[in-house]
Every structure is written in C-alpha cells, then in structure tokens.
Chains A and B, each alone.
Chain A
C-alpha cells in the first residue's frame, strides 16, 4: 500500500500548521518524522491517519482519494498510535490489546480465531504477554507504552503511524521499541514514526522527513541530514562518530540558545 499527501495545508486557530506538504510513503519503509516542537509533525500524522481533513490538498491511498474509502476499510489498513495515549477505564491488558481488532469485527460477533491470533502475536512481539491479566493502570510507564503499541499492532494494518512511541521509555525499552518498529517494517508494513531523539531516528530509520514550521525541509536517507541543517533548524550542535561500522550522531550542546528560543517563542503551539 502507498499513501501520499498531496499539497496538504492545514491551519489551526489561524496559524498555518502545514504548508503545502507533499509526501509519499511505501510499504516496508521505516520513516522517521522529525522536527522541533510545533513543526507540525503530529498534525501531519493525524492527516495521514485520516483524523484531520486538510484545508487544502488531498490524501491518496493506493491512488484513491482517502475520502472515497470506507471508514472501516481505512481503519483496517492504517493503524494509529496516539501521543501519550490515555486509557479512560481500568481495562485488563488483553482486553485493551483486543480493541485493535474492532475494525475487523462485526457488531456482536465473537472473537474469531484470527482475532485471537493477532492479539497473541501483538502481545508476544511487544513482550507484554506476561502482563495480559494485569490492569492497565497498575503498569509502569514503559509497560503501558508497550501495551498501547501492542494494541496498534493487533490491527495488523499495512501502515502503522506512531506519535512519539519512545517518549516515556527508558533506554532499554526505547531500543526495544525501535527494534520492534524495524521488524514490523521488514515484514512489509510501512511505519511512520514521530521522533524527537535524533540519535534513534538516524540510527533506525530508512528515511528521515524533517519538518520545520509546517514545511518539509528534508526528505531523504539519514545520511543526508547535515550538521548545518540540524544547527539551523534545532539550534543545537551534534557530534558524529562511527561504531560497529555504522555512523551515529548525538546532540551535544545549544547554539545561541537565547536567540533561537526567542525566535521560536511566537511559533509555538502547545
């Protein structure tokens, strides 16, 4: 499956959040969506997930207009993992993960063997199988994130959109989450993930999309993300190196921090 944003523009409360963004995503690709706070990453992800209709421009799924697709079909094909996902009632972990099967289920139909298999696979992939009988709200932050990720995986969609799935995780679970997203992509699904951590983004992703103030500044392999661009957009200096034959980068220190903050101050949108 291929999803493409075509000249998408969005404004929220009078502010231009996305400005003529055109992008296409292919199956089997792990794409990191990066950019400073307020760059429009979450809004772009919501547009791609069909949760926000663009003011101008269109979204195409396999060449068809997304608005022509039946809601349930869209939901079966594209899974969305929200940022700081909240769960309103104290559900048991296996019940929560099974919610990912809702787009596949008819009203009042019992779980099909396919549903149970998908839930089991998602629990095992995220290493949450042993938590299945626990109540979600009794879990640690890292466990919660993995359970929510399992819920998204249980959809067995062709495209997974994840908004900062590593934000609440410790280093071990961050790496495990990225390994997991990597393996989802290598099994053929497309994965688009919003990340703040440039080290993780450049190490794991096949492709980096850098947004700044609603525009695409860069769309290419992680190696094309240059020091000048990072310092211009983020106002930070990076350190680069090689380990095990692979390049890495680490954000090191701020550049003219005060100027950058001031300049950004007006642009911020929560």
Chain B
C-alpha cells in the first residue's frame, strides 16, 4: 500500500472516531447532568430506589427532576445540532441556523398563544402541543407561500417573512397580555430552559424528533452532492424538491418539538456544525450525526454550568448559549476578515 493509499484510507474513515468520541461525550454529559443539581443526591441510592419502585425522596428527585432535564437536554441539543448541519448543507451557507425557515418562530408563537389563552395550566401537555402546532402551521405556511418547486432563495425569503411575522405576533401577545404576571411568564419561557420539565413531555416529543432525525440523516448523500451546486447534484440523481421537503420537514419535527418543550435556545444549531465541520473534511453529509452529538454535549454542558453558577434566579439556558455563541460569531467575523 502506498503512502497515498494509506492517507486516503484513513481519511475516509476519519470521521468515525470523532463520531464515537462525541457520542460518548454526550452520554457522559447526560450522566453528569443527572449527578449535578441543587439538591445533594446520592445517585446510586436514588437509582436503586427508583428501580425497585420505592417512592423515596431521592428517587422522586431523580425521576421527576433530573432524568427529564438530562434527557430533554440530550434530545433538544441533538435536534438543534443535526438540524443546523442539515440547514447549512441545504442552503450551502455556514450562517444558516435551524430556525431560518420559520419553524422555531412558529413553535414559539404557538406556545406563547397557549400561555396567553390561559390553557397552559389546563393540562400538562398544552404547552408543547401548542408549540408543535405552531411549528407545523409555520411549515405549511412556508410551502404555501414559497409555492411548488420553490428554489432555495425563495424558501429563505419565505422563512424570514414567517419568522418576522411570528415574532410580531409574539410581541403582540405580550403587548396585549392580560396581566404583568402572564407577560413575565411568557418572557421567561421564551428565554429557553430545561428546568421543571417532565417525562410525559419527553414522551410526547421524542417520537416526533426521531422521525425528524431519520429524515435529516437520510439526506446525507444529497447534501454531499449539493456541494457541487444544484445542477450537478440533480445530475447525480438527487431530487432537489424532495431534498428540500425532507430537510424542512425534518427541521420542523426536530426543532419544532424541541422549541415546544424548551423554549427558544439559540446559537447551538449555528455554532456546533461550524466548529465540527473541519474535522469531517467539510463534507456536509458526515457533519449531520457528529453535529447532533456535539449539540447534545454543548447543551447539556451549558445546562450544567447554569446549575453550578452561584447566580439566583437561575440563568435561563437560552441566555447562556447566546452569551457563549455571540462572542464566537465575533471571532468568526474576525477570522473571516483576516483571511481576505
């Protein structure tokens, strides 16, 4: 085997160790998220109580507080990371983020309307159901506005229009909110958090997210082909119309349901694919799963930081990811500038 051939062989399997490493890291972060919290918890005792079905206090803390928080952090982070990677691949733009086509704006509006109407307290799943309905409506509206056979630019324009419309309606709901307490609740929810979520919410969104992930992962070869432009991708046998449907449908399911449960959490979907791209040789298809696990690790990590910081009331997760993400964008601009 020549040196070249060896380099080619290791280069091609090069993203597997990264994928393995990041999936391991995300599992470790989820475990750390179980262990770290406000109350001291003997995790072993709590787990054995929970497994035996004893309703002890540690078991309740574990099952009702820690597990939903860690599990939702994992799946929401995974959704944001993989969708960000797919969006950047579809739009061939490193600045695309999961919500660019309007799904997270729609989900946020749906949840806010549930708050506004007072339904939030009526039953446990009202809020996520409202968010999911918002995301679906935004997606239907997107394709209705952009029309059949819409190109990428039309989709972005329609997405921006939907995002700003949803944003306007959200602020309208705040403006007209019946009492300051309701407005407060909406604002805090919009900041995004994993605190005080429950297992039924996880069971509601998990199947939807899983379908979304599967749709996104199935686009990997087409996203690779799209590296050569739309004409060449089509000449390689990919149906671009179907590709757009899959990516946007997958984004709506994955990110729409994430936002419906956690509120809006920015920057994870933008930053994670960007950081990991060089390690998969810039291949958009290889970036998908890697970004999913990277997103899960980052979100869980940020959520652990939130709990370790001696700041009260607890910082909202969306605030922390934005605080980490924005300087990253500045550094990106700086690097970009010096490359010219």
B81 to chain A minimum Cβ distance, whole angstroms, is 18
Stretch at the interface among A83-91, A178-186, A194-202, A232-240: A83-91
The answer to whether residues A79 and B235 also contact, given A85-B229, A107-B221 and a CB cut-off of 8 A, is yes
A92 touching B12 in the complex, CB below 8 Å, given contacts A71-B237, A99-B228, A132-B4: no
Main SS class of interface, B: helix
Chain A residues whose C-beta falls within 8 Å of the C-beta of B277 in the assembled complex: 89
A155 vs B239: C-alpha distance when bound (angstroms): 18
Shortest Cβ distance from residue A127 to the other chain B in the assembled complex, whole angstroms: 14
In this assembly, does A102 line the interface, its C-beta being within 8 Å of a C-beta of chain B? yes
B226 neighbours in A (Cβ, 8 Å): 88
B225 touches A111 (CB 8 A): no
B329 to chain A, nearest CB (A): 19
* A80–B231 CB distance below 8 A: yes
**Residue-wise interface mask of B (221-241) relative to A, using a CB-CB cutoff of 8 A (1 in contact, 0 not):** 100111111011011111100
- B237 near A102 (CB under 8 angstroms)? yes
Interface size counted on chain B using CB atoms at 8 A? 28
Distance to closest chain B CB from A149 (angstroms) = 12
Binary contact readout B275-307 vs A (1 if CB under 8 angstroms, 0 otherwise): 001000111100000000000000000000000
Instruction: Enumerate A85-106 residues with CB–CB distance to B below 8 Å.
Output: 85-92, 94-96, 99-100, 102-103, 105
Contact indicator B235/A94 (Cβ below 8 Å): no
CA distance A133 to B6 in the complex (A): 11
Q: How far is the CA of A148 from the CA of B229 in the complex (A)?
A: 12
B8 interface residue, CB < 8 Å from A?
Answer: yes
Taking a contact as CB atoms under 8 Å apart, the answer to whether A133 and B229 are in contact is no
Task: Report whether B232 and A80 are in contact in the complex, using a CB–CB cutoff of 8 Å.
Answer: yes
Is there an interface contact between A99 and B236, defined as CB atoms closer than 8 Å? yes
Q: Which residues of A contact B55 (CB under 8 A)?
A: none
- Which residues in B have some Cβ–Cβ distance to A below 8 Å? 4, 7-8, 11-12, 92, 218, 220-221, 224-229, 231-232, 234-239, 277, 281-284
Closest 7 CB pairs of A and B: A75-B237, A80-B235, A89-B282, A72-B237, A88-B92, A103-B237, A102-B236
